[in-house]
Amino acid sequence: MVKKTKRRGKHIPQRTCVGCREVLPKRSLIRIVKGPDGVQIDPTGKAHGRGAYLHDQRSCWVRGIKSGLGYALKTELTEKEKQGLLAYMEEQLPEGEPVVKGAE
């Protein structure tokens, strides 16, 4: 008798949110990249440079900007980069949670 081979599902890459340390599919997270032009948002997920990932939740962004993001990107975030990330957070993320002051 011929055995049927089991079909494997498609591989889904997993990444860790630097804010809350939860492991999720790569596509459900937002990539931040440290490239030649500094730290910036990478909407395509394909920009050159060292990347780190955050949820689309304000608490993760505040915690990530405050501590984990700089470590994950192996750089010290400048005040301008922090302000740019906070501005993106204010524009794009839902208002469900209040922003904690002191992320600067």
Q: Does residue 2 fall inside a structural domain?
A: no
Distance (Å, whole) CA 1 – CA 37: 61
Q: Does residue 38 fall inside a structural domain?
A: yes
pLDDT values of the chain reduced to their tens digit, one per residue, 104 residues = 677 777 888 999 999 999 999 999 999 999 999 999 899 999 998 999 999 999 989 999 999 999 899 999 999 999 999 999 999 999 987 765 444 444 44
What pLDDT is recorded for position 41? 94
Count the Cβ atoms, other than its own, within 10 Å of residue 76: 9
For residue 7, the one-letter residue type is R
Q: Does residue 52 fall inside a structural domain?
A: yes
> Is the distance from CB of 15 to CB of 23 less than 8 angstroms?
yes
Please give the full DSSP string across 16-42, using - where no structure is assigned: EBTTT--EEEGGGSEEEEEETTEEEEE
Q: Does residue 1 fall inside a structural domain?
A: no
Q: How many domains does the chain have?
A: 1
Distance (Å, whole) CA 65 – CA 85: 8
Q: Does residue 60 fall inside a structural domain?
A: yes
Smallest CA-to-CA distance from 17 within 48, 50, 63 is with: 63
pTM, two decimal places: 0.80
Strands 50-54 and 30-35: antiparallel
Q: Does residue 49 fall inside a structural domain?
A: yes
What pLDDT is recorded for position 2? 74
Rg (CA), the chain: 17
Q: Does residue 9 fall inside a structural domain?
A: no
What pLDDT is recorded for position 47? 92
Q: Does residue 67 fall inside a structural domain?
A: yes
